Structure 1
Amino acid sequence: MKYGFLSPIHDKAPMGKGSLHKGNANGVKHSKCIIFPPKVSMVAESLERRNQNWIVRAKVANDLIIQVGDSIFQLHKLPMVSRSGYLNRLVFQRICIRDKNTVSTIQIDNFPGGAEIFELVVKFCYGWKVDLTAANIAPAYCAAYFLEMSDDLEQGNLISKAETFLSFILLTSWKEIFQIFKSCETIASWAKKLQVLKRCSEAIAWKASMDPKTFTAGDDDSLGYNAQSNNAKNSQHSCIAENWWFEDVSFLRIDHFLEVIESTKRKGVRSELVGSCIAHWTEKWISQIPFGQHNQPTHQLLKVTAESLIKVLPAEKNSVSCNFLLHLLKLGIMMRIEFELLNKLEQRIALMLEQCSASDLLVRNYGNTDTVYDVRIITRVVESYVSSVLNNPAPRIYVVGRLVDEYLTMIAKDEKLPIKHFQLLAEALPKDARYCDDNLYRAIDMYLKAHPKLTEEERTSVCKAMDYHKLSEEARQHAMKNERLPLYISMRLALLEQVNMTKSSTNNRSNYRRTKTQTIIRISKGLDKGCMTPQKELTMMKKEVENMKVQLNALQKCKIQLQRQIKGCTI
């Protein structure tokens, strides 16, 4: 028996508020396929519904009852078993056990699409018109396979009809692919088993891998890109950005999104584009999370989602930004994901620090009572970096030292930033990670200015990471006059300044005397070589050495005296 098949048609209908793509204009085309058999094995008058009961009225009494969930369908064996191998087998088993004239009752659990899709199947079996759309094609396709409605029973059975229409949508309509994804949420296991999700993902990946410059004016609906919006009716499609597909994909739930990402990787989409898409999806997803208000099932979902996102990240270098990875690391720490996965992500970020800017390290905290930025996570990454270069120090560690100091400067004004967090990050790098401590001094000064109520001990601990010997002359002069610094540091700087001045004066006098002596010797030798005996030369050199010893002793006494003054002040 041959079935009639009307080619898929398009109905013009505006997208409603529930549209996947909010920027769509009215007049979007929707595919619909109408199928019905020209000849049927039984003529049915009507299909009546009473609450949860469906009854097919015909001249022959009903002899088949099928229960789908809470719904009951009173049907006839002949039209149903002639097109369903599954029902044929079950009915035959019951006929062999019972009298063939009795009514057969079949209960179907976990039917794809539920009673609504089974009603569609009943209409198809009885020869009534059936409308297939993007919203019901996936469950109808799965239901047809569940019921084994293949062409082996009837040519043009439901499997082949659904397959034809599904393939048509995947090839021609971008937006309706996302409707198929949405309809698969209630039939996830069947959609995965029959590779409906994979086929939808591959269709998206195929279009995402295309060069936007090759798009023509007739591709608007296929691309999900409204080229006529924002008064750009006549704009060239060559201006379409490579990330035109991000927004539509961002509405997919995590399992469907992962399917799309894996497909784009297989299709050869650039790793930077794949990484940006993951970041876009994650940013939208995180903004919808009510942190601190979720229960245990929600926490588990968030944990699995975070782990899945980390696993699907492109392995290529610079495929994702450091800032995004830091946010992902923070999420992983909050959700307590697998340690190995967390450690792997942490090391990946650490290796990116040498190419980062200070603004890349800004990771906002979610709570209102916490600091503005998460400093502990940066400390953790910096410590990981130091561990990785400890045995083989890289010359670019100075770059990370400057990066950390710039970051400290940016966060120093936060009044809620605890001393411990500031100090741990400042001390996370080894002493030789900085050529000069001017930037660190600037960050410390800004922190002290933003926290004027700190005690002398607390201010001393803040300054602990700074090596005042590495300050420039300009910074040292500023620090000596800085009343915000603890007295201990001020006295140290004063001592250093006095020592330097004394050393400079001593060097000048020594150089002068040495030069004068050498000049006299040279002149004396030039005028009369016999006037200066070796004994006289030796005596003169001894006197010069004695003078230098006296000056050094005076310098040592000065240093001891200043140190005593410092101890007296600290006591």
Structure 2
Amino acid sequence: MDVSCDLEVDVNGEEIFMVDKKVVCSYSGKINKLFGKSKRGTRYLKVIFHDFPGGAESFEIITRFCYNKGKIEINPVNVSTLYCAASYMEMEKSVSGNENLFELTEKSLEDIRYWTWSELLDALRLCQNLMPVASSSGVIDKYLDSLIGRVASSCETSPCPSTSSADSSGLRLSCDSKSTESLRNSVFRATWWFEDLAAFEPFLIETLVKQMVTKNLDHGILSKFLFYYQKARFSVAKTMDEKCKTMETVIEMLYLLDLSCISFKTLFGMLRVTLNLKISKCSRNELESMIGSQLDQASLDNLLLPSPVGSSYLYDVNLVLRLLKSFISKGVCCIPLTRLRKVASLMDLYIAEVAPDPCLKPSKFLALVRVLPESARDSFDAIYHATVMYLEVHSGLSEEEKMKVCSGLNYEKLSSGACRHLAQNKKFPLKSAGQALITQQVKLKNLLQETNQASPYLDSPCSFVDTENPGNEDQQIVLYAGKLDLSTENEKLKEHLQGMQWRVLELEKACRKMQNQMAKMLKSRVSSHNSARSLPRLCS
């Protein structure tokens, strides 16, 4: 055969080949379209390929196939390269009746079920260098279908010959009994493939996991694999970009899984890792959404994350606020009260921890208090004590700013002790102290009324007058104490009524004491401020 080198082929800038145009055209539909009608002997024919799958080495194999009259040995080692190159060169159509390389490789791929596990892994690794043709041609899907089928069946049968072993899998379980041996075998059957697949690039893992989800593989196993993959890739990553890409892929795939199957502790571990990475905003939002939806499982240590570099405050309060908003994003009515109160208790601890931060702004402190509805807390005593710490550290706040900080308190849910403490605390604004006292007095009056209504034996009214402030009719407390006929009652009922009467007397004393203390405090504050500020009207 008359062979000439009349076609110059530049392959991805790696190497230049001089080939016979007629020979290559007889097998390649792409070359035939470009130069099939050009006359032989035409000089300076040249083609440049920028994305030839497999590069110069792959093109050389194709030329050997063409010069060898369509004869080539096809095996698991080279079938991926031949399949992708044949697809790129449009060799799926017979030209001049010659051998069809695309059909030959497709026929070879039909035997993929007979390949060993190692051969399948090698073929997939090779495909990573044949992108994007490997993806568009469908060869990767063929390999992944076979791989997923073997992984899915591994719970019932032993895995195919593999580079993995019990020792290399990282499992160290005791085999002292049949039960532990059975557990070891079950765990091994579920995770034996982790190490082998951890070497794949993120884009391949993304395709793999998506197909596994479609085929309903166990989400718990998939989440464990993704965590394993992230750690394995980080240990060998050379650049921050590689780590970011790995983390983004893992987060995106975890977001597809059932949250109940994902380790919450590990998610928080990933969150700490991302603090030093510049991952995409979308990935960060997905991770925070997964954590926020399960925030009732968190601990205080989980939330005490350092603030971003360049920030003045100690802890990342903005991150915690985002997690809280994610927790209640579906509506408070959709969250069980037990979960809501558990998060509220956690937030009480967190607010107390961040309150002493001198750089924490009043708006951020108030946002932490108000982000959860008031129904989430039975008591606001913890919030009050955190507010005390905040005002002590931020002594330079204006009266208006102090009132803003105190606006997060629910005075009706403060205990008597907290109200008394607030009324005497000069760090708090006068208006806040007045509100606390008014609320406490109303609670005392309501309690007295409930006590009176609860006893059917109190039938004649008598009034108790505050002897320390005679003539002040607004500070009278009316009690109902009648003649008690206990002749037909047993001793248990008698003790109950006596206890109730003692409780009423104690409440009277507490009310009088609070009124006197509040009056003295208001007088001292007015004189110290030397102003004609109007004070809140206190009701008895």
TM-score when normalising by structure 1: 0.59
Partner of 1:518: 483
Would you say 1:205 and 2:148 are equivalent positions? yes
One of 31, 34, 57 as aligned partner of 1:116:
57
Cα distance in 1 for partners of 2:165, 2:226 equals 19
Would you say 1:258 and 2:220 are equivalent positions? no
Would you say 1:435 and 2:400 are equivalent positions? no
Partner of 2:17: 73
Residue segments in structure 1 that go unaligned for 5+ positions in a row? 1-41, 43-59, 524-548
Partner of 1:563: 522
Would you say 1:376 and 2:318 are equivalent positions? yes
Are the equivalent residues in 2 in contact too, given 1:66–1:72 (CA < 8 A)? yes
What residue identity is the alignment partner of 1:430?
Answer: P
After superposition, where does 1:329-408 map in structure 2 within 5 Å? 335-337=280-282, 351-354=293-296, 357-358=299-300, 361=303, 367=309, 373-383=315-325, 388-389=330-331, 395-396=337-338, 397-408=340-351
Deviates more, 1:191-200 or 1:165-174: 165-174
**Cα displacement (A) at 1:264:** 0.4
Would you say 1:195 and 2:132 are equivalent positions? no
Question: Residues 392, 482 of structure 1: CA spacing in aligned structure 2 closer, same or farther, 3 A cutoff?
Answer: same
Cα distance in 2 for partners of 1:175, 1:365 equals 46
Cα distance in 2 for partners of 1:522, 1:194 equals 96
Question: Residues 414, 117 of structure 1: CA spacing in aligned structure 2 closer, same or farther, 3 A cutoff?
Answer: farther
Cα distance in 2 for partners of 1:180, 1:161 equals 17
Cα distance in 1 for partners of 2:198, 2:171 equals 25
Cα distance in 2 for partners of 1:564, 1:484 equals 13
1:333-391 CA deviation, whole Å, 9 max, x = no partner?
A: 974549xx96x987776554456555555656553756565321321343455564367
What residue identity is the alignment partner of 1:518?
Answer: K
**Cα displacement (A) at 1:557:** 7.1
**Cα displacement (A) at 1:435:** 0.2
Partner of 2:66: 125
Cα distance in 2 for partners of 1:364, 1:249 equals 34
Question: Residues 333, 557 of structure 1: CA spacing in aligned structure 2 closer, same or farther, 3 A cutoff?
Answer: farther
Cα distance in 1 for partners of 2:122, 2:426 equals 63
Deviates more, 1:63-72 or 1:231-240: 231-240
Give 3-state SS (helix, strand or coil) of 2:322's partner. Answer: helix
What residue identity is the alignment partner of 1:116?
Answer: E
Give 3-state SS (helix, strand or coil) of 1:518's partner. Answer: coil
TM-score when normalising by structure 2: 0.62
Question: Residues 210, 484 of structure 1: CA spacing in aligned structure 2 closer, same or farther, 3 A cutoff?
Answer: farther
Give 3-state SS (helix, strand or coil) of 1:73's partner. Answer: strand
Give 3-state SS (helix, strand or coil) of 2:162's partner. Answer: helix
**Cα displacement (A) at 1:518:** 2.5
Are the equivalent residues in 2 in contact too, given 1:437–1:466 (CA < 8 A)? yes
Are the equivalent residues in 2 in contact too, given 1:499–1:559 (CA < 8 A)? no
Question: Residues 408, 156 of structure 1: CA spacing in aligned structure 2 closer, same or farther, 3 A cutoff?
Answer: farther
Are the equivalent residues in 1 in contact too, given 2:255–2:290 (CA < 8 A)? no
Cα distance in 1 for partners of 2:171, 2:75 equals 31
**Cα displacement (A) at 1:104:** 8.6
Are the equivalent residues in 2 in contact too, given 1:68–1:114 (CA < 8 A)? no
How well do the aligned residues superpose, as a CA RMSD in angstroms?
A: 5.8
One of 73, 78, 83 as aligned partner of 1:141:
83
Cα distance in 2 for partners of 1:253, 1:469 equals 58
What residue identity is the alignment partner of 1:240?
Answer: F
Cα distance in 1 for partners of 2:291, 2:375 equals 22
Partner of 1:318: 260
Question: Residues 482, 284 of structure 1: CA spacing in aligned structure 2 closer, same or farther, 3 A cutoff?
Answer: farther
Question: Residues 375, 252 of structure 1: CA spacing in aligned structure 2 closer, same or farther, 3 A cutoff?
Answer: farther
**Cα displacement (A) at 1:194:** 0.6
Aligned residues: 465
Are the equivalent residues in 2 in contact too, given 1:140–1:162 (CA < 8 A)? yes
Cα distance in 1 for partners of 2:189, 2:310 equals 37
Cα distance in 2 for partners of 1:284, 1:227 equals 16
What residue identity is the alignment partner of 1:265?
Answer: V
One of 210, 213, 220 as aligned partner of 2:162:
220
**Cα displacement (A) at 1:120:** 1.5
Are the equivalent residues in 2 in contact too, given 1:401–1:433 (CA < 8 A)? yes
**Cα displacement (A) at 1:273:** 3.4
**Cα displacement (A) at 1:141:** 1.7
Cα distance in 2 for partners of 1:244, 1:447 equals 53
Give 3-state SS (helix, strand or coil) of 1:367's partner. Answer: coil
Give 3-state SS (helix, strand or coil) of 2:45's partner. Answer: strand
**Cα displacement (A) at 1:282:** 6.0
Cα distance in 2 for partners of 1:102, 1:220 equals 54
What residue identity is the alignment partner of 2:208?
Answer: V
**Cα displacement (A) at 1:192:** 1.8
Deviates more, 1:415-424 or 1:431-440: 415-424
Cα distance in 1 for partners of 2:64, 2:172 equals 46
**Cα displacement (A) at 1:434:** 0.8
Are the equivalent residues in 2 in contact too, given 1:246–1:277 (CA < 8 A)? yes
**Cα displacement (A) at 1:239:** 3.8
Partner of 1:107: 47
